[in-house]
């Protein structure tokens, strides 16, 4: 090592810094592991394409999703300019499918965010405060866990009408339970860590410790669980739609499309098959990404 | 053990209470009434009907009355089916759901455990990958997708089985609904079994058994399997919940006269008492099964100490 490398700004020093061994953070490691997982990478690509299609597809498609054409009913795929055929009202299946995919994904993401906010707040507060508060908060979660929730969602939809906002809230309110349990467990171990002790010694308030120090460190588990919650929400919404309690026409979600397709499948099997394929592909992609993330972020849990 | 049982029962009571309360007020907050019909009832008739079912009293009083009756096992009359109590309605419809659910869980246990054991013994070989691929499909694809697709393939196109109907529980009518219900459970059970087997096969006592010179099949059957399927016991509760949810879909698609089909219809018709009765019934069922699972676990696994 020559003396010039000590001079800030010298070309030699720049060279040295460039070749220096770069430290790898936990997240770099995780990313490398994730990108080595072929199923997860393929799923990310497919899912990315599906998201793009769901967003820009409806404006590119030659037909509008609720455009009723009496002369074009029950057109099989690849006829009359309808790539995936038409339904009993002559509406283009491709246009409806793209729009339904968008609705399903939007519900999946928004309801998951609802569950994320409630679950993380609840779990981290319970875990951090501990003692009696923890005991009571987790008892509440236990109690809610043993409720047959799908019935309450059904009741909720029947009670308050079938608006899309309520679907978000209802499903999000159901899905936060597991999130809060996971977050609590993680918080319990995090709060023993030295940096939390240091923050406490420095006089940081409880609230600030929870939201500035604990919550950011929960990111790993939370990300994994979010990817696994989105498909669960999509299934829940589709389930409601299937029972006729979800998204109302002329809007569509994957669930309503499958439900409608199931009714007409003898006459027009494509109305069932294409939405089913899109649904299955979407759910599998989320699952593979979730599993991949879990293996990447928490390798000991394989 | 007794203390554990008591404590769990003490937790179960507030849970059931919460279920009753939530369901009661949600049902009553719903617009519309069970007496809405095509023809509007005359106001005095409606008043009489309301009075007959005690629905003219303040809501709080109705709630307390309902609680009092429910504790005594009286869930009231059905509001839609004249001359029938809620218990009658439950009694008439549970058999189909029970038969479906039990068949599905039995088949799921047998198939799932076999697949799981095979996958574990052939770990990282093609049989393993194939089984796990099936398991992923089973977990990912919801019942309301598998059901119509299977009907389309095996009933409409191939004509091997009827598309719908119960036909007094004829075997041929049960094949599709039971398959649809069992598939997600098969997926989960095979995953759990595989994970359990892989762990147990690495344990010291299995190594000891091998060192003693026992045959591989004896090791698997007598030593490994018993410990490996323990985690399955605690899956009993969630499995039941999954079957109940699944039955809502399956009974609707296959038009089977069971509780699941009845629940949605009753909720839409605002048959308050029947819906309440069903929610309580399902909640109690899940609570009891969870409790049974925990107790069973403790009996089977001497390492678990209940306190």
Whether residue B18 and residue A147 make contact (CB cut-off 8 A), yes or no, is yes
Instruction: Calculate how close chain A gets to B19, using CA atoms only, in Å.
Output: 7
Q: Which range has the worst mean pLDDT, A27-36, A38-47, B5-14, B46-55?
A: B46-55
Q: What average pLDDT does this structure show over B272-290?
A: 84
Q: What average pLDDT does this structure show over A82-87?
A: 78
- CA torsion sign for A223, A296, A195, A192 is positive
In chain A, the residue whose alpha carbon lies closest to the alpha carbon of B278 is A151
pLDDT of residue A21: 67
pLDDT at A302 over 50: no
Instruction: Calculate how close chain B gets to A130, using CA atoms only, in Å.
Output: 20
Calpha distance B62→B24 (Å, rounded): 10
Whether residue A265 and residue B148 make contact (CB cut-off 8 A), yes or no, is yes
Whether residue A239 and residue B147 make contact (CB cut-off 8 A), yes or no, is no
Closest CB from B144, B249, B286 relative to A148:
B286
Q: What average pLDDT does this structure show over A186-208?
A: 87
Whether residue B267 and residue A155 make contact (CB cut-off 8 A), yes or no, is yes
A6's CB contacts (< 8 A; 6+ apart) are A13
- Record the tokens describing residue B29, joined without a space: 């907050």
Q: What average pLDDT does this structure show over B189-196?
A: 89
- Provide, as residue numbers in chain A, all residues whose Cβ is less than 8 Å from the Cβ of B252: 243
- Record the tokens describing residue B291, joined without a space: 């409790």
**What value does the CA radius of gyration of chain B take, rounded to a whole number of Å?**
24
Spatial contact of B206 and B223, defined as CB atoms under 8 Å apart: yes
Whether residue B283 and residue A147 make contact (CB cut-off 8 A), yes or no, is yes
pLDDT of residue A24: 67
- Provide, as residue numbers in chain B, all residues whose Cβ is less than 8 Å from the Cβ of A143: 11, 14-15, 18
Among A143-147, B139-143, B180-184, B297-301, the range of highest mean pLDDT = B180-184
Calpha distance A154→B275 (Å, rounded): 11
Q: What average pLDDT does this structure show over A225-242?
A: 86
Q: Which range has the worst mean pLDDT, A88-102, B190-204, B224-238?
A: B224-238
- Record the tokens describing residue A282, joined without a space: 């979407």
pLDDT at B307 over 60: no
Among A64-78, A111-125, B56-70, the range of highest mean pLDDT = A111-125
Closest CB from B148, B151, B244 relative to A148:
B244
pLDDT at A301 over 60: no
Whether residue A155 and residue B23 make contact (CB cut-off 8 A), yes or no, is yes
B111's CB contacts (< 8 A; 6+ apart) are B182, B186, B190
pLDDT of residue B39: 62
B23 CB within 8 Å of a chain A CB = yes
**What value does the CA radius of gyration of chain A take, rounded to a whole number of Å?**
25
Closest CB from A142, A159, A283 relative to B140:
A283
pLDDT at A153 over 90: no
Closest CB from B140, B149, B268 relative to A284:
B140
Closest CB from A147, A156, A265 relative to B152:
A265
Whether residue B248 and residue A150 make contact (CB cut-off 8 A), yes or no, is yes
Q: What average pLDDT does this structure show over B44-63?
A: 77
**Mean pLDDT computed over every residue of chain B:** 83
Calpha distance B80→B91 (Å, rounded): 16
Calpha distance A168→A237 (Å, rounded): 9
- Provide, as residue numbers in chain A, all residues whose Cβ is less than 8 Å from the Cβ of B149: 272-273, 276
Predicted ipTM of the assembly: 0.77
| Distances in whole angstroms, Cα of residue B47 to Cα of each of B53, B54, B63, B86, B246 | 10, 10, 19, 22, 40
> Integer distance in angstroms from the first to the last C-alpha of chain B?
7
Q: Virtual CA dihedral for B37, B41, B45, B46, nearest 10 degrees? A: 60
Whether residue B283 and residue A259 make contact (CB cut-off 8 A), yes or no, is no
Instruction: Calculate how close chain B gets to A28, using CA atoms only, in Å.
Output: 28
Closest CB from B149, B156, B282 relative to A266:
B156
pTM of the model: 0.81
In chain B, the residue whose alpha carbon lies closest to the alpha carbon of A259 is B144
- Provide, as residue numbers in chain B, all residues whose Cβ is less than 8 Å from the Cβ of A161: 31
Bridge partners (DSSP) of residue A79 are A82
**Long-range contacts of B152-161, Cβ-Cβ distance < 8 Å, separation of 24 or more:** B152/A265, B152/A269, B152/A272, B152/A273, B156/A265, B156/A266
B270's CB contacts (< 8 A; 6+ apart) are A158, B27, B30, B32, B33, B34, B36, B79
Whether residue A154 and residue B264 make contact (CB cut-off 8 A), yes or no, is yes
- Provide, as residue numbers in chain A, all residues whose Cβ is less than 8 Å from the Cβ of B30: 155, 158-160
H helices, E strands: number in chain A: 13, 0
Whether residue B149 and residue A242 make contact (CB cut-off 8 A), yes or no, is no
């Amino acid at each position: 090592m020559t003396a010039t490398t000590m001079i800030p700004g010298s070309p030699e020093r720049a060279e040295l810094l460039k070749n220096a061994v770069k430290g790898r953070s936990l997240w770099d490691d995780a990313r490398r592991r994730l990108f080595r997982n072929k199923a997860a990478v393929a799923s990310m690509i497919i899912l990315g394409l599906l998201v793009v299609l769901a967003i820009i597809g409806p404006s590119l498609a030659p037909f509008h999703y609720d455009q009723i054409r009496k002369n074009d009913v029950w057109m099989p795929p690849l006829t009359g300019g309808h790539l995936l055929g038409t339904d009993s009202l002559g509406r283009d299946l491709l246009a409806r499918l793209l729009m339904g995919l968008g609705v399903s994904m939007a519900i999946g993401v928004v309801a998951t965010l609802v569950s994320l906010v409630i679950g993380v707040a609840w779990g981290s507060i319970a875990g951090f405060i501990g003692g009696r508060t923890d005991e009571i908060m987790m008892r509440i979660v236990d109690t809610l866990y043993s409720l047959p929730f799908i019935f309450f969602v059904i009741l909720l939809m029947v009670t308050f009408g079938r608006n899309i906002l309520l679907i978000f809230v209802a499903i999000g309110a159901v899905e936060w339970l597991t999130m809060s349990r996971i977050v609590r467990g993680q918080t319990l171990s995090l709060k023993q860590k030295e940096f939390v002790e240091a923050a406490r010694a420095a006089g940081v308030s409880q609230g600030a410790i929870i939201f500035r120090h604990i919550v950011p460190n929960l990111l790993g588990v939370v990300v994994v669980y979010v990817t696994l919650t989105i498909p669960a929400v999509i299934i829940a919404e589709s389930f409601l739609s299937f029972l006729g309690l979800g998204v109302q026409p002329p809007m569509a979600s994957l669930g309503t499309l499958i439900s409608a397709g199931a009714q007409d499948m003898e006459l027009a099997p494509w109305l069932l098959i294409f939405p089913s394929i899109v649904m299955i592909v979407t759910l599998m992609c989320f699952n593979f990404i979730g599993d991949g993330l879990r293996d990447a972020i928490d390798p000991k849990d394989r | 053990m007794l203390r554990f049982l008591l404590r769990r029962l003490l937790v179960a009571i507030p849970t059931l209470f919460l279920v009753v309360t939530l369901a009661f007020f949600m049902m009553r907050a719903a617009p519309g009434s069970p007496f809405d019909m095509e023809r509007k009832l005359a106001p005095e008739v409606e008043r009489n009907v309301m009075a007959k079912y005690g629905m003219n009293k303040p809501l709080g009083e109705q709630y307390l009355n309902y609680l009092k009756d429910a504790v005594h096992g009286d869930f009231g009359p059905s509001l839609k089916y004249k001359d029938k109590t809620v218990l009658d309605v439950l009694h008439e419809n549970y058999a189909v759901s029970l038969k479906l659910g039990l068949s599905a869980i039995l088949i799921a246990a047998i198939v799932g455990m076999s697949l799981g054991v095979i996958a574990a013994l052939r770990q990282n070989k093609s049989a393993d990958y194939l089984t796990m691929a099936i398991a992923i499909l089973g977990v990912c694809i919801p019942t309301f997708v598998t059901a119509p697709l299977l009907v389309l393939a095996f009933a409409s196109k191939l004509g091997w089985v009827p598309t719908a109907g119960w036909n007094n529980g004829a075997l041929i009518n049960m094949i599709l609904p039971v398959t649809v219900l069992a598939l997600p459970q098969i997926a989960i059970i095979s995953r759990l079994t595989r994970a359990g087997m892989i762990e147990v096969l690495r344990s010291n006592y299995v190594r000891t058994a091998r060192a003693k010179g026992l045959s591989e099949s004896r090791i698997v059957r007598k030593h490994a399997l018993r410990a490996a399927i323990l985690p399955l016991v605690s899956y009993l509760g969630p499995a039941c919940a999954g079957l109940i949810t699944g039955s809502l879909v399956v009974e609707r698609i296959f038009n089977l006269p069971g509780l699941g089909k009845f629940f949605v219809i009753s909720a839409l018709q605002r048959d308050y008492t029947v819906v309440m009765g069903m929610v309580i019934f399902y909640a109690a069922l899940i609570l009891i099964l969870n409790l049974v699972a925990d107790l069973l676990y403790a009996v089977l696994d001497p390492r678990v100490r209940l306190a």
